[in-house]
Amino acid sequence: MVIGDPVEHSLGPKMYNLVYEKMGVDTHYVYIACKVKEESLEDAVRGIGALGIQGVSVTIPHKKNVMKYLDKIDDLAKKIGAVNTIVNDQGLLKGYNTDWLGVIKPIEKIVRLKNKKVAVLGAGGAARAAVFGFSHKGAKVRIYNRTLKKAKDLAKEFNCDYASLEMISDIKNMDIIFNATSVGLHPNDNQTPLPKKFITNKHIVFDAVYVPYETKLLQEAKEKEARTIHGIEMLLYQGIEQFKLYTGHDAPEDLMRKILLEHVK
C-alpha cells in the first residue's frame, strides 16, 4: 500500500502488482494507493497494525510526520529524518528510508563515490535523501539552491558545503551533478536548472525528475557527451530496496524497469 496526498499518479500499484503477478509471489500480495490527509495520518498508521498490512510506502507530505507513530525507526532513516517505507513485523511497525539508495545505487554502478565532488541542485525533500546518501558514502557535497537559507540549513545538518546559484559556474569542476529541484518537470519541459555551458563530458548528470523521461537537462548533458542517469533509475532502486523489505525476496530489476518505462515513456 502507498499512503500520501496526492497519490493518484503513483506508479507503485502498477509496478508492484504486475511484479507480484509475474513473479508468482504468493497471491496474498496486492498493492493499493490510499489518499490519507494529514489529520488522518495517525489513524491510518494504527490501521496498518489492525488490518495486518505487511508493508506501506509513505510519500509526500507524510515522510517526516509518520515517524512519531511508528514503534521503531531504522538508524539511517533517523539520520535522514524521513521514512518512506513501513514494515509490519508481527505487529511491530518499523520505519525505513530507501530514497537515498535510489540516488546512490545507480551511480555506484558507474563510479565509486568516495572523495568524488558532487553538486546537489535543490534543498527540498529529494535533496535531503541525496545529500545524506552522498555524504554517507564519503563524497564531498556542495548544495546549490535558489533560496540560500535552505541550502545553508541542509548543509549544516549533514556537514557539507553550500553555495548560491550565482556561483553555479563552479560546477565545472565537479564529478557528479544531481538535480533535486523540480525544474524541468512536466509541463515545464523546456526548463533546465543548469545552463548547458556549465556541463562537460567529464560529468555524470543524474536528474531526479522522471516526467518527461528525458528532461532538457539530460538532453543537453548528452549533447555535451556527459554520462547521464534518468530519474526512473531513482524510482526503480528505491523500489527494489522496498520490495526486499516487504517480501524478503530479491526484486526482479529488469522487469521492474520495463514496467516503469512503459508508464513514463
Find, among 122, 137, 130, the residue nearest to 80 by Cα: 130
Least CB distance to ligand ATR at residue 78 (A):
19
User: Closer to ligand ATR at the Cβ: 150 or 263?
Assistant: 150
User: Closer to ligand ATR at the Cβ: 88 or 179?
Assistant: 179
User: Closer to ligand ATR at the Cβ: 108 or 153?
Assistant: 153
Residues in the interface with ligand ATR (CB under 6 A) total 14
Distance CA 187, CA 71 (A): 40
Is the separation of the CB atoms in 53 and 63 below 8 Å?
A: no
Distance CA 23, CA 105 (A): 23
Least CB distance to ligand ATR at residue 180 (A):
6
Pairing of strands 2-4, 55-58: parallel
Least CB distance to ligand ATR at residue 122 (A):
3
Considering only residues 171-190, where is the footprint of ligand ATR by CB under 6 A? 180-183
Among candidate residues 63, 105, 116, 137, the one labeled active-site is: 63
Per-residue binding string, ligand ATR, 103-132, x by CB under 6 A, is -------------------xxxxxx-----
Find, among 115, 81, 140, 129, the residue nearest to 237 by Cα: 129
Per-residue binding string, ligand ATR, 50-89, x by CB under 6 A, is ----------------------------------------
Segment lying near ligand ATR (by CB under 6 A), choices 96-104, 141-149, 166-174, 213-221: 141-149
Distance CA 117, CA 130 (A): 13
Least CB distance to ligand ATR at residue 25 (A):
30
Q: Would you say how long the chain is, in residues?
A: 265
User: Closer to ligand ATR at the Cβ: 106 or 122?
Assistant: 122
Does residue 179 sit in helix, strand or coil? Answer: strand
Q: DSSP assignment of 105-128, as one string? A: HHHHTT---TT-EEEEE--SHHHH
DSSP state of 173: G
Q: Examine the residue annotation and report whether 244 is marked as an active-site residue of this protein.
A: no
Least CB distance to ligand ATR at residue 203 (A):
19
Bridge partners of 119? 142, 177
User: Closer to ligand ATR at the Cβ: 10 or 145?
Assistant: 145
Cβ burial, residue 148 (10 Å; 0-12/13-18/19+)? middle
Q: Which amino acid is at 125?
A: G
Cβ burial, residue 251 (10 Å; 0-12/13-18/19+)? buried
Active site residues: 63
Q: Which residues bind ligand ATR (CB under 6 A)?
A: 122-127, 145-147, 150, 180-183
